[in-house]
A and B are shown apart, each in its own frame.
Chain A
């Protein structure tokens, strides 16, 4: 069936319908990762957005459900150049075609994703509509498209009930995609309480603002007992459990919109419990301490962004997915200082908080998809929690 992608500026891309055939209006963003389409589809940070994959061949290795970053797919829409006719991978249990249908995600294939990406790059992120029926009145449609904004997505994606992740396979720092098999198998180093990066015995409160599952699993894999809390849980409830550390997760939408949550985050700040925050969590902590965030022209979404650690000068290739950034001009120098910066565009990628056991990053040390190079930040968090005891 034919489908159309209509942008708010009136540009129409004709293509072929994939997944659900229902019509959807959403914010269109692009992701440049060459692998990890399932991780992208199941990343709650995409709630309220439709994703364009710049890599043209999607679905090659099918669907390996173990790789899902949450229980379902979140994007409002999915835009690709081409879906593979067959999946090929020993772990694949499904085709992407079927997965999109099952998850009721409307999508479009057969479009020039590069041309689309260039429009988004030049004009900035914009809204669009995926539909199987070209509207008779394009002006009316573009008005409707323009009217859309991403709202209320944190509460939509967060867990409804708290739950606990028990440390399962301690010492295995890459919780997914571990190598198996007789020859290549690498014994996981035994996690002992004496190992400085072992989280055995530590209890972490993970605030789920739309968390990717590998954040919790990265901590659990290091031995931590992780309690996952709904985003709107009052800080007092969390603190009453006397966690050794608080992990603020990633999540979707405009950070400044979450005024109630920000108030709770301020309480975490004041609590003296060690805190590590990722992406939305990083932005919420900045907002809670008086800084401002702003919307980037077209965001950072992919697995190749260089980030410099200002303390060491080292550059790490990181996994990223964010449309907003912390305005470093607005930082109170007595509260927080930039700790990481994006080498490409100089935007803030992380903060360290003065006199506090708090550090936050804009990017994704939990990877999935993308480079695992920043996994050491979880080790740093564990050391911080141990020192904080």
Chain B
């Protein structure tokens, strides 16, 4: 079937800010789809509130709107742009929900816009629990016994009927938000109350618990003619009970025979056919480990995190093919982009094993529970490929960048046997390490399988790894070549072999090279070598033929990616890596990307000339360097992951393109950097470099509290805290030392002021500053968690000049070639430097888009030897835009039980959205809307404020009161507000009798909590409980005075009609 000629202009809806359960995979899918549509001559209108995405670039879509993802905005946009079609299945659940709302309201029909890709009925059949169940029953596909309930009492009755444990799943939520397994009526009540509120339609499914069964997924595709294929199946190593996003997943399935494999495959095809999906779909199964019994758990009628993983695991571009299907093509008309000989109507065959591991955020949320359940907690993931499972797992472990490189990275040898068994029963992120310890103690596979329900096959693979550890220990320095070869075959890195044998890492490497034990590269070709493939997508293994050919007649650059998405290093760095790669290509370079994140655009095989899907450790990179022999490497676009590899690359003899390694070092090394600042006459808050708590306390007392304590060489302010006492210092340094730190600790005087951020490009002589950004929140809150305003509006002309002057001086002094990011504090007319990063930063995508200056391509061209002037730009601070662009952080606190949500110097947000408008107020309103803060609902709020901020809060409270809010406060705050003429209703504190403040929150009539906690470690337990309860019941919580003020401003300026700005026209 050829393309439908009636489709000419398509609106693609993106997924909005990155949150847990909806991450970069939708940027990957959306970008691929937009490119696929444009290839067909379709005019693409893109809507996404997330400025850090690649899809929101003007070269990806024709018209780009970075606006809030609300029904009002989409309606307005459709009326403005008049697309003939909407493609809703590529923007995750957010995009899908939006499209459904419009369809249900009849708006699309009224305006002659059709949904392409999949019909509303199909979406409903897959997503509405009752309709889904009916559909499955109709075609004889089993689902676990279940019932939908709309109130708690019915839910409890149903649970009693089905029998505990039961699984509770709210309808229409992301990543299983609000769901869980209830073992008894009390737990059931708690989860139900929460889930009913979070569900868009107020429904929760109560279901038979099939925890412990094998969890298997199929990615299937169907075209308009009814042709169906499966792209891939995947097996979760963690059985049913852990969200697949938090599970270790292997592709293809390993423990299923052909009978089980085909049984589920046939079922998946039956389901996609019955649902009538045109495009991609994900079907999740629970398969009984001891029989052929199975249940369909869930169907996602759209591209998903799993489909992104399946695309990367197989080389089959699901989103691209789904977009073509939406236009009317059939699978046999779409070329296989990998082989370029065959068609999309085939099923990929793998001749390797893929392992995915989740990147969990527990290093950021020390207080949070590590337990994994049906609600996803991972912020990102890594994928690895090898010809054996053990090797793929080892590669995945070291790709995580969590200070782990083998199954000994966490030491449980000190646990008693009883304690170990207890630990084995816990389902958390350390499970494979605990199993490894049990294997070392000789626990039987049967026992481990009994406790964990993890298949014996996987347990045996872990045993092979622990046996190798032991063999290496036993061999010691007498390591034989055969053992070394076997250790490398299952991907033991040299440093681990060195640690276990007692040899030096250099000696291990030397022994390898002397015996020809070197990594070889195999191609991911979708067809297990049956056809010659043209797409250079590689993975490493040891032993066999090397398929990667490093020879080229062009100059070659290595672009280092940024690894898994984590708090502090998100999708922005993928944006930078991809744009840099494209710019190098335009400069005539052959480009080689190394990355390990399956969710990203950078790991799409048609971005660079070559893609190596590999861990980003020095050894893994060196093996690639040996084959590719690049002319240089660029590290300034891949975040801290890439920067950390600078030294290793230099040792390999790979020139660092752009800012030299020693200058990168100078910016990070306290002493060197202080010297530079002194030479330039630039002040910074006074501070000291220390190694111990004692030294830190001495430094702090000399500087005077409060002080900022942080480890050097970290991301997103990890471990950074404001200390107000010696006791705080002891606690913070203890925490810092838990995370293995080889680098010193910095103690700085904490200055309260405005925070200003600048990204600049320097060609060695001239400096180009696209714009100055100002944070709404004062210093003390991490820049990634602050609301950022461009252009800066409240600093004086004098300060602005100083900032430009300091930026220029610093860029020159650090010999920057390429990007630099600087953060300043402005206190009155005083400007201090607080941080310098000689690399691309989090704000680069945002500032590029709102200034229209292609910062990353420019920086790349400069790295290649061009100058700012030659590229047609006038150096210096660029003319300010005549509109405001506000970047708003977005958090995923409700997903992480036990995490403290109060903001501070350590970054906690997972994503961001943009509000852009002619006026500051409208931009602010849009930003809050985009972040999903849609107030007021009930017009009841709680305010509790630390003493120092009470006065300031009175004024803000008055504004909320004027907006019609009823204000509830505990003791001191209530008195203060009333004294300032703001009516506040006093409520008892948590420990006081009911009804107290907690009851108020749990009563579901509060829509906003403003809770400003005191600084330092001694934060009140009450505040923590209030904030957690509020977040988990879906209440908006703000923890900074400035944010609260901004929200008041936003609400005072609610606009019915928004002005939509096409970014592509900037």
CB within 8 Å of B: which residues of A? 30, 32-36, 38-39, 54-57, 60-61, 64, 67, 81-82, 84-91, 112-115, 117-118, 121-122, 174, 176-186, 302-306, 308, 313-317, 343-344, 367-373
Shortest C-beta distance, B1057 to chain A (Å), equals 49
Chain B residues near A64 (CB-CB < 8 A): 257, 259
Please give the residue numbers on chain B whose beta carbons come within 8 Å of chain A beta carbons, in ascending order.
140, 142, 144-145, 225-230, 252-263, 265-266, 269, 288-295, 330-332, 341-343, 345-353, 387-389, 445, 455-457, 460, 464, 522, 527-532, 543-545
8 Å CB contact of A344 from B145, B255, B343: B343
Residue contact B343 to A82, C-beta cutoff 8 Å: no
Which of chain B's residues have a CB closer than 8 A to the CB of A122? 532
List residues of chain A with CB within 8 A of the CB of B348.
304
Q: Are B227 and A315 in contact (CB under 8 A)?
A: yes
- The reply to whether A121 and B529 form a contact with Cβ atoms under 8 Å apart is yes
Closest to B208 in A: A183
Which residues of A lie under 8 Å from residue B349 when comparing CB positions?
32-34, 54-55, 302-304
Contact among A67, A88, A306, A369 for B457, CB-based, below 8 A:
A88
B1012 to chain A, nearest CB (A): 53
Bound together, the chains give a CA A381 to CA B773 distance in angstroms of 73
Given contacts A179-B263, A344-B343, contact A39 B258 (CB under 8 A): yes
Assess whether B341 is in contact with A344, with CB atoms less than 8 Å apart.
yes
Residue of A nearest to B350 (CB): A34
The reply to whether B345 and A315 contact each other, CB–CB distance below 8 Å, is yes
The docked-state distance in angstroms from the alpha carbon of A343 to that of B263 is 25
Q: A112-B544, A114-B529, A179-B293 are in contact. Are A306 and B346 (CB under 8 A)?
A: yes
Across-interface contacts of A369 in B (CB, < 8 A): 258, 262
Distance to closest chain A CB from B313 (angstroms): 12
Query: CB < 8 Å: which of A35, A117, A181 contacts B292?
Result: A181
Task: Answer whether A67 and B257 are a contact pair too, CB < 8 Å, given A32-B530, A84-B457, A85-B460.
Answer: yes
C-alpha spacing A85/B462, complex, angstroms: 12
Q: Is the interface of B mostly helix, strand, loop or mixed?
A: loop
Instruction: Provide the residues of chain A in CB contact with B262, threshold 8 Å.
Output: 35, 177, 367, 369-372
Q: Complex Cα distance A112/B291, Å?
A: 35
Chain A residue at smallest Cβ distance from B291: A181
In the complex, what residues of B have CB within 8 A of residue A34's CB? Answer: 252, 261, 349-350
Given known A315-B227, A372-B262, contact A343–B342 (CB-CB < 8 A) = yes
Q: Contact: A344 with B528, CB < 8 Å?
A: no
The answer on a CB contact under 8 Å between A60 and B347 is: no
Contact among B254, B294, B342 with A57 in the assembled complex (CB-CB below 8 Å) = B254
Q: Nearest 5 pairs between A and B by C-beta?
A: A177-B259, A112-B544, A181-B293, A36-B258, A184-B293
Contact check, A372 vs B261: say whether CB atoms are below 8 A apart. Answer: no
- Bound: A114/B259 CA distance, A: 25
A60 to B254 Cα, complex, angstroms: 7
Q: Is the CB of A54 within 8 A of B293?
A: no
Q: Are A56 and B388 in contact (CB under 8 A)?
A: yes
Contact (Cβ within 8 A) B229 A317: yes
Question: Are B455 and A57 within 8 A (Cβ)?
Answer: no
A34 to B234, CA, bound (A): 12
Residue of A90, A184, A308 ringed by the most chain B CB atoms within 10 A = A184
A–B Cβ pairs within 8 angstroms, 19 of them: A34-B350, A35-B261, A36-B258, A36-B261, A38-B257, A56-B352, A61-B255, A86-B457, A88-B457, A112-B543, A114-B387, A121-B532, A177-B258, A177-B260, A184-B294, A302-B528, A304-B349, A313-B225, A315-B330
- Find out whether the CB atom of A89 lies under 8 angstroms from the CB atom of B292: no
Q: Are B255 and A60 in contact (CB under 8 A)?
A: yes
Contacting residue for A121 out of B253, B295, B350, B531, CB 8 A: B531
Contact, CB under 8 Å: A32 / B528: yes
A382 CB, nearest partner CB in chain B, Å:
20
> Smallest Cβ distance from B9 to chain A, in angstroms?
29
Residue contact B332 to A343, C-beta cutoff 8 Å: yes
Smallest beta-carbon distance B964→chain A, Å: 53
In the bound complex, residues from chain B placing their C-beta under 8 Å from that of A87 are 457
Seed contacts A60-B457, A180-B292, A184-B288; 11 additional CB < 8 Å A-B pairs: A32-B527, A39-B258, A64-B259, A67-B259, A88-B455, A89-B255, A121-B532, A185-B293, A344-B531, A367-B262, A371-B265
The docked-state distance in angstroms from the alpha carbon of A91 to that of B258 is: 12
Looking at the assembled complex, report how far the CB atom of A245 sits from the nearest CB atom of chain B, in whole angstroms.
25
Q: Specify which chain B residues have a CB less than 8 angstroms from the CB of A90 in the assembled complex.
A: 289-291
Question: Does A372 contact B266, Cβ atoms closer than 8 Å?
Answer: yes
Cα distance A32–B282 when bound, in Å?
24
Known A-B contacts A117-B529, A308-B332; A314 and B225 likewise in contact (beta carbons under 8 Å): yes
Contacts of A39 in B (CB 8 A): 258
Q: Which of A35, A54, A305 contacts B351 (CB 8 A)?
A: A54
Known A-B contacts A117-B528, A179-B292; the reply to A303 vs B457 at CB < 8 A is no
B347 contacts A61, CB within 8 Å?
no
- Given A34-B350, A184-B294, A315-B345, decide whether A176 and B259 contact each other with a Cβ distance below 8 A: yes
Q: Report which of B144, B288, B528 forms a contact with A54, defined as CB distance below 8 A.
A: B528
Once bound together, how far apart are the Cα atoms of A91 and B226, in whole Å? Answer: 35
B435 to chain A, nearest CB (A): 15
Which B residue's beta carbon lies closest to that of A62? B257
Residues of B close to A315: CB separation below 8 A: 227, 330-332, 345
Chain A hits for B345, CB < 8 A: 306, 315, 317, 343
Complex contact B291–A180 (CB within 8 A)? yes
**Is there contact, CB below 8 Å, between A81 and B387?**
yes
Residues of A within 8 A of B530 (CB): 30, 32, 54, 117, 121, 302
The one of B229, B332, B353, B545 in contact with A114, judged by C-beta atoms closer than 8 angstroms, is B545
Listed residue (B254, B353, B529) with the most chain A CB atoms within 10 angstroms of its CB? B529
Q: Which residue of B lies closest to A122 (CB)?
A: B532
CB-CB nearest in chain A for B253: A35
Across the interface, which residues of A come within 8 angstroms of B293, CB to CB?
179-185
In the complex, the chain A residue whose C-beta lies closest to that of B269 is A373
Contact across chains for B351 and A114 when beta carbons are under 8 A apart: yes
- The answer on a CB contact under 8 Å between A113 and B351 is yes
Q: How far is the CB of A357 from chain B (nearest CB, A)?
A: 27
Beta-carbon contact of A306 and B460 below 8 Å? no
The residue from B269, B288, B292, B350 contacting A55, defined by CB atoms under 8 A apart: B350
- Within the complex, the shortest CB–CB distance from A334 to chain B, in Å, comes to 29
Given known A-B contacts A177-B263, A184-B293, A308-B332, A112 and B545 have beta carbons under 8 A apart: yes
- A56 CA to B522 CA, complexed, in Å: 13
Q: How far is the CB of B615 from chain A (nearest CB, A)?
A: 20
CB of B260 to closest CB in A, whole Å: 7
Shortest Cβ gap from A182 to chain B (Å): 7
Chain B proximity of A84: nearest CB distance (Å): 7
CA distance A181 to B255 in the complex (A): 19
Chain A nearest CB, measured from B767 CB (Å) = 51
* A116–chain B nearest beta-carbon distance, Å: 9
B229 — nearest CB in chain A belongs to which residue? A317
- Which residue of chain A is the closest to B257 with respect to CB atoms? A61
Query: Whose C-beta in chain B lies nearest to the C-beta of A91?
Result: B257
**Which chain A positions have C-beta within 8 A of B259?**
64, 67, 176-177
Q: B257 — which chain A residues lie within 8 A by C-beta?
A: 35-36, 38, 61, 64, 67, 89, 91, 177
Nearest Cβ on chain B to A15's Cβ, whole angstroms: 10
Q: A89-B255, A344-B343 are in contact. Are A314 and B528 (CB under 8 A)?
A: no
Q: Check A184/B351 contact, CB under 8 A, given A55-B528, A85-B464.
A: no
Taken together as a complex, chains A and B put the C-alpha atoms of A297 and B255 apart, in Å, by 33
